[in-house]
Amino acid sequence: FDGERQQFDDFNDTMTNYYGSDFSCMRAEFLEEQRKYYLQTGMFVNLTPKQLASGGSPLLELDLLRITVEDLKDVEKPLTCSMRISKDTQLEGFTGYFNVMFQGSPQNPTKEVIELTTAPTAGTATHWGQQLFGFFPPLQAKSGDVLECRLRIKRQKKNHRLLQLEAAFTLGSEGNVREKREDTWYVD
Amino acid at position 74, single letter = D
In the predicted model, residues of the chain with pLDDT beneath 70 are none
The per-residue pLDDT for 69 is 86
CA–CA separation, 149 vs 95, rounded Å? 12
Given this model, what pLDDT does residue 76 score? 75
pTM attached to this predicted model: 0.83
Cα-Cα-Cα-Cα dihedral of 26, 1, 181, 139, to 10°?
A: -160
- Confidence (pLDDT) at 155: 87
Residue 15 DSSP symbol: H
| 133: nearest Cα among 25, 10, 30, 45 | 45
Helix axes 2-19, 27-39, angle to 10 degrees: 150
Q: pLDDT at position 65, please?
A: 87
3-state secondary structure of 24: helix
> Sign of the CA dihedral 44, 182, 80, 106?
negative
Identity of the residue numbered 170? T
Specify the 3-state DSSP secondary structure of 39.
Answer: helix
Whether 34 contacts 1, CB under 8 Å: yes
HSE-CB at 165 with a 13 A cutoff on CA atoms is 26
Give all strands (DSSP E) within the chain, no chain letters. 43-45, 79-84, 89-96, 99-104, 109-117, 130-141, 146-155, 163-173, 176-187
Residue 107 identity (one-letter amino acid)? Q
pLDDT for the residue 72: 80
